Structure 1
Amino acid sequence: METTNSLIQLIEESIRKNWNLDAMTDYKGATLQYKDVARKIEKMHILLEHAGIKKGDKIALCGRNSANWTATFLGVITYGAVAVPILHEFKADNVHNIVNHSEARMLFVGDQVWENFNEAAMPHLEGIIELKNFDLVVSRSEQLTYAREHLNEEFGKRYPCRFRAENVSYRREELEELAVINYTSGTTGYSKGVMLPYRSIISNIEHIHKKVGLHPGDNVVSMLPLGHIFGLVFDFLYGVTAGAHLWFLTRMPSPKIIAESFAEIRPRVIACVPLIVEKIFKKNILPKVDNKLGKLLLKLPIVSDKIKEQIRTHAMEVFGSNFIEIVIGGAPFNPEVEAFLRKINFPYTIAYGMTEAAPLICHSR
C-alpha cells in the first residue's frame, strides 16, 4: 500500500490490483472477490444516482457485520455521499433518533434488526433497503422505486460488454470533506454524532499499515462492530486498502465460535475488546493446562517456564497460530489477565483512542 492523501484512491487501487482475490466472506456463507465488490459498488452508484442522491447526502447503515454491509459502505463513500453507520445493538428509538438527526435520505438495514424498527418514526427517509438481498422494503420516492426495479438493466446499459478492472474509476475526495458521521453509544442520553473527515481516517490507515503491515490475501476476522469506528477503520477500511480477505462471523463472537472459526481462517491480525481475550483465556486456555492449577495461575506471582510455554503454545493455537498480533482496545483491560499475558510473552498490543480521533490516539506494544 503506497502512501497517499486519498482513501478513495487506495480503495480503487486495491480493487484493481486484487481483482481476482477473495475480499469478503460471511463465515459459513458466501464469499465476494474484489471484482464482485466492485460490481456491487458500481450498482450502488447507479442506484444512488437514479434515486437523486447528491454529494454530501447522508446514507445510514444498520446491521450486523457482513460482506453486503461493507460493499454498501464502500459504494456510499466512493459515490460522494456521507455514511452514517449505526450499531445494530442500539434500541429502536435510538436508531430512529440517529436517522432523523443525521438527516439521512436512505437507510440500509439488516433483516435481523429491521423487524424492531418503525418506518413511521423516520418520516424523512425516502427509502429503506434490506442488506441481505438489497430488497426495497420501504419507498417514498418514485425515482428510488424505478432505480431499484431497473438496476440490473441500467448496469447492463452502462457496461454492455463486460465490467472490467479498468472500468473502476472513482472520484477523489478533499481531505477535510466529511466522510462519516459516527454516533457514540449514548451513555448520557441519545447518541452524539461525531463528524469525521477523510483526513482523520486516512491518517489512521497509514499508521496501522506501518505498524501492522498486512499483505494482499492475508486473512482478517472482523469481530468488532462496523458501527463503531474501531472496527470500521482498523478491520474493514484498512483491510480493504491492504487487499486483505475480511471474514465476518455474523454472530456473537463466543469463545466456542472463535476457537472453531480461527482454526479454519488463521487470521493475520486480530482486533478485539478485552472481554473476548479474558473469556477465552479463562474458559478455553487455562483450564486445559490443568483444571485445578488453571484457575489459580492468574493469581500466582511465579509460573514455571514449562507451564508458561505450554500455555502460550495453546493460546496461539486457539487464536489460529498465524497472527502477527492481537490488538486490544475499546475498554479497560483486566490487570490480572494483562499481567499474565506479559508473563507468557503473548503477542498483544493495547490501542487507545476515541471516536473523535477516528479512533487511534496511541497504539503500543
Structure 2
Amino acid sequence: MREFSLPALYEVPADGNLTDLIRRNAARYPDLAVIARKDPADNSRWLDLTATEFLAEVRAAAKGLIAAGVAPGDRVALMSRTRYEWTLLDFAIWSAGAVTVPVYETSSPEQIAWILGDSGAVGVLVESGGHAASVRGVRDRLPELREVWTIDDGAVAALGKAGEAAGITDADVDERSATAHADSPATLVYTSGTTGRPKGCVLTHRSFFAECGNVVERLKPLFRPGEDSVLLFLPAAHVFGRMVALAAVMAPIRLGHVPDVRTLTDELASFRPSIVLGVPRVFEKVYNSARAKAEAEGKGKIFDKAVAVATAYSEALDAPGGPSLGLRLKHKVFDRLVYGKLRAVLGGRATHAISGGAALGARLGHFYRGIGFTVLEGYGLTESCAATAFNPWDRQKIGTVGQPLPGSVVRIADDGEVLLHGDHLFAGYWNNESATAEALTQGWFHTGDLGTLDEDGYLAITGRKKEILVTAGGKNVAPAVIEDRIRAHALVAECMVVGDGRPYVSALITLDEEFLPRWAAEHGKAELNRTDLLADPELQAAVQHAVDDGNAAVSRAESVRRFRVLPAQFTEESGHITPSLKLKRNVVAKDFAHEIEALYS
C-alpha cells in the first residue's frame, strides 16, 4: 500500500455556501467583467457582465424561484446545453436555498423520469420546447414536480417579473441564501450510468470549496483576475465543466459558454480564452484536422517534421540541459511555419489547457507542449467533485495525471485500486445507503480504477478493476492502454477491446465520420458506397496500421489479433457512450454480440 498527499493551499470556510462567492465578487471587484454572454442581436459579439450585474441577475431569478414556492433544501433540475443561463440559474437555485439537479440535454424521457423522480425535484428549468415536451411525456410519473420553466420561452425574464410582483427583495434572497451551510447538498449529479441506473452523487458546498479553491491556488498563474478567461464548451451538466465554471467564479476570471461544439473554432477565435479545457478527443481532433489539412495542401511531410521537432523539443525539456541549440533553432523555424497557426486555431491567446475524462497519452502531451500549448492532464470522478489529481503548471509530468489535489490523499491499495480521501469527496449517493457503504469505507472512496504512484506522488491510471479482461490463457489485459493508442489514429473514432475468457484479444472499431470522406477522396475511393468503402482492402490496411501501432505498446499476449470495423458509430443517442464520452462496455457487448462472436469463429 502506498499513499501521497499535499498540504491544502486553500482554507475551506467553516460555514457558508457558494453564493458567498458572487456577493464577495460584487463587493471586491464590482466593475470587473466576470462573465460574458452572446449578444441576442448579434451572435458574433460577446457582451460582458460585471460582478455587480451578474449578482443582480442571479438575485432576480432567485426571487422568481422563491415566489414559485421553492423552499430551502428543495431540488430543482436544470436541463440545458452549455450557455450563460446555466451558470446564472445554478447560482439562482442556490440563492433560493435549493439544490441543483443537472440533467443532460440529450437525456431520453426514461432518463429524465428517473433523475427527476429519484431526486424528488419540485421544478425543472429546461432549455427548449422539445425538452419541455419530454418532461410532459413523463410528468404523470413525477408527483412532486410542480413547475416547468423553458429558457427559450423567456423563463429568466418571467422569473424576474414573478419575484418582483411578489415583492421579494434582495435582502429576502440573501436571507434565503444563508439557509444552506457548508455541509448542505449543493447538487445531486447523477453518474452517467455505464452500468445500471445512474446514482445521484451528493456534492456539498464544502466539496466545491475544497475542490475549486485548491485548483485555483495551485494553478494561480492561470487564474488571474482581470487578465485570464476560460471558454466552457463541455457539458455544464458534467462535473468537470461545472467545476471549471465555479473555479472561474472563485478566482474570478472571465467565463464564457459555447452550446454547440460545431462552432467551437469560431468561438475560440472571437472569445480568445487564456485557458482551454477539454477531453482528449477534442485535442486529438484538432491534431488530426491540422494534419489532414496539411496533407491536402501538399504539406504533409513538413507537418510531420514539425510534429517530430515539437515532440523532441518537449521531451528535451525534461532532460538535463534541455533542448540543444540545433533543436531550438529548428523549433523556432517551425513555430513561424506551423505552431503559431495551430495556436491560432485554439484562439491564439491560450498557453495552457486542462484535460480530463480519459487518458490523453504521452504522444499528444509532448506534441502540444512542444508547440507552446501545454495540456495539463488530470483525473477525477463525479464522486470526487471532478479533479482529484492534476499536473501542476510548473512541474508537469507527461504520461501521468499529476499529483493529488492539495488537501487530499491518494492511496494505492494492495490490489492496485486507487483510493481517495479529502473534503472534496461526495457525501454519499442520494437515497442509496447500500451503494454509499460499498463505495465509502472509513472516509476512503474506492474509485474502481487501478493506478500507481511514483516517488514524487504523480499518479498514473492503468485501467479499471471491472474492465480488466482475463483471456482463456489467464493473461490479465487492461483495455485502456491499447485502446488509447489505436484511437490516436485519425481514421479511428472509437475502439473497444474484447477478449474476456477468449483465446486472444480482439477489437471493435468505428471510424471518424469527419475524416473518413477525406481519406476516401485522397485514396481515389470517393465514389464507393459506405459498405464497399468499409470493406475496401486499403482502408482495412490503414486500420490495421492503427492496430499495429496500438500493439506496439503492449505484450504479445495483450495485443489485438483481429478487429471488426463497425458500420455504425458509438454515440450517446445510440446508447453506447455516456455524455462524458465513456464507453458503455456492457451495452456495446450486448448490441454487437454477433460481431464479437464472429471475431472468434
User: What TM-score does the superposition give when structure 2 sets the normalisation length?
Assistant: 0.52
Q: Check conservation: 1:9, 1:172, Cα contact below 8 A.
A: no
Question: CA offset at residue 241 of structure 1?
Answer: 2.1
Q: 1:92 aligns with which of 81, 106, 109?
A: 109
Deviations 1:317-345 (A, max 9, x none): 22223224100111222554334335545
Distance 2:266 2:254 in 1: 18
Across the aligned residues of Structure 1 and Structure 2, the Cα RMSD in angstroms comes to 3.1
Find the aligned partners of 2:334 and 2:68 in 1 and give their Cα distance.
60
* Residue of structure 2 equivalent to 1:151: 163
Verify: 1:274 aligned to 2:280, yes or no.
Answer: yes
Closer, same or farther: CA 46–352 of 1 in aligned 2, 3 Å: same
The answer for the alignment partner of 1:141 in structure 2 is: none
Matched residue of 1:69: which SS? helix
Of the candidates 148, 151, 154, which is equivalent to residue 131 of structure 1? Answer: 151
Residue in 2 that maps onto 1:184: 191
Decide whether the 8 Å contact of 1:221 with 1:248 is kept in 2.
yes
Match of 1:24 among 20, 24, 36: 36
Partner amino acid, structure 2, of 1:58? R
Distance in structure 2 (CA, Å) of the matches to 1:302 and 1:222: 31
Runs (5+) with no aligned partner, structure 2: 1-8, 314-326, 397-601
Q: Distance in 2 between matches of 1:97 and 1:203?
A: 30
Corresponding residue of 2:544: none
Farther off after superposition, 322-331 or 301-310: 301-310
Task: Report the alpha carbon displacement of residue 69 of structure 1 after superposing the two structures with TM.
Answer: 1.6
CA, structure 1 residues 346+20, in 2 after alignment: closer, same or farther (shift >3 Å)? closer
Residue 214 of structure 2: which of 194, 207, 213 is its match? 207
Which of 216, 230, 249 is the equivalent residue of 1:220? Answer: 230
1:239-264 per-residue CA deviation (whole Å, 9 max, x = no partner) reads: 1222322211221x23xx33322222
Distance 1:11 1:313, change over 3 A: same
Match of 2:346 among 303, 319, 336: 319
Computing the radius of gyration from Cα coordinates, the structure with the larger value is 2
Higher RCO (CA < 8 A, seq sep 6+)? 1
Amino acid at match of 1:126: R
Listed one character per residue, the Cα deviations across residues 203-238 of structure 1 (whole Å, up to 9, x for unaligned) are 11111211333233332101111100000011x111
More deviation, 79-88/305-314: 305-314
How far residue 120 of structure 1 moved from its aligned partner, in angstroms, is: 4.4
Trace 1:67-78 onto structure 2 (pairs within 5 A).
Answer: 67-78=84-95
Contact 1:32/1:67 (<8 A) preserved? no
Cα distance in 2, alignment partners of residues 352 and 17 from structure 1: 33
Aligned residue for 2:204? 197
The offset of 1:58, in angstroms, is: 0.3
Q: In structure 2, what is the equivalent of residue 45 of structure 1? A: 62
CA distance in 1, matches of 2:365, 2:151: 38
Secondary structure, in 3 states, of the residue corresponding to 1:276?
Answer: helix
Distance 1:182 1:20, change over 3 A: same
Distance of aligned partners of 1:98 and 1:299 in 2 relative to their CA distance in 1, 3 Å threshold: farther
Conservation of the 8 A alpha-carbon contact between 2:67 and 2:163: no
Counterpart for residue 139 of structure 1: none
Give secondary structure in 2 for the equivalent of 1:38. Answer: helix
Q: How does 1:292-331 map to 2 (within 5 A)?
A: 292-293=300-301, 296=304, 305-306=330-331, 308-309=334-335, 310-331=337-358
For residues 294 and 258 of structure 1, what CA distance do their matches in structure 2 show?
26
Distance 1:172 1:349, change over 3 A: farther
What does residue 21 of structure 2 align with? 10
Indicate which of 108, 113, 121 corresponds to 2:125: 108
Question: Is the aligned partner of 1:241 residue 2:250?
Answer: yes
Contact 1:15 1:243 in 2 (8 A): no
SS in 1 for 2:105: coil
Query: Larger deviation: 20-29 or 33-42?
Result: 20-29
* Contiguous gaps of at least 5 residues in structure 1: 137-144
Structure 1 residue matching 2:389: 3-state secondary structure: strand
Q: C-alpha distance in 2, partners of 1:294/1:89?
A: 41
Provide the residue aligned with 2:382 in structure 1.
355
Identity of matched residues, %: 20
Identify if the C-alpha distance between structure 1 residues 285 and 172 changes in structure 2 by more than 3 Å, giving closer, same or farther.
farther
* Partner SS, residue 206 of structure 1: helix
Contact 1:58 1:105 in 2 (8 A): yes
Offset at residue 293 of structure 1 (A): 1.9
**Structure 2 residue identity aligned to 1:131:** I
Contact 2:59 2:95 in 1 (8 A): no
8 Å CA contact 2:26–2:52 kept in 1: the answer is yes
Tell me the SS of whatever aligns to 2:122.
strand
Q: Is the 8 A contact 1:308 1:343 kept in 2?
A: no
SS in 1 for 2:152: coil
SS state of the match for residue 49, structure 1? helix
Whole-angstrom CA distance in 2 between matches of 1:332 and 1:294: 28
Deviations 1:121-178 (A, max 9, x none): 1332100001234449xxxxxxxx9x886433345x747xxx9xxx977527432211
- Equivalent pairs counted in the alignment come to 345
1:117 counterpart SS class: helix
Aligned residue number for residue 263 of structure 1: 269
The answer to whether the 8 Å contact 1:58/1:106 transfers is yes
Aligned-partner Cα distance in 2 for 1:342–1:69: 32
**Alpha-carbon separation, structure 1, partners of 2:356 and 2:224:** 23
- Supply the AA of the counterpart residue of 1:246: L
Determine which of 209, 217, 230 is the counterpart of 2:240.
Answer: 230
Partner Cα distance (1:158, 1:206) in 2: 30
The SS at the match of 1:104 is coil
Stretch of structure 1 that moved more, 304-313 or 328-337: 304-313
Alpha-carbon distance in 2 for matches of 1:32, 1:262: 16
Separation in 2, partners of 1:188, 1:17: 46
> 2:490 matched to which residue of 1?
none
> Does residue 291 of structure 1 match 2:299?
yes
Q: 1:282 to 1:180 in 2, by over 3 A?
A: same
CA contact (8 A) 1:226 1:232 kept: yes
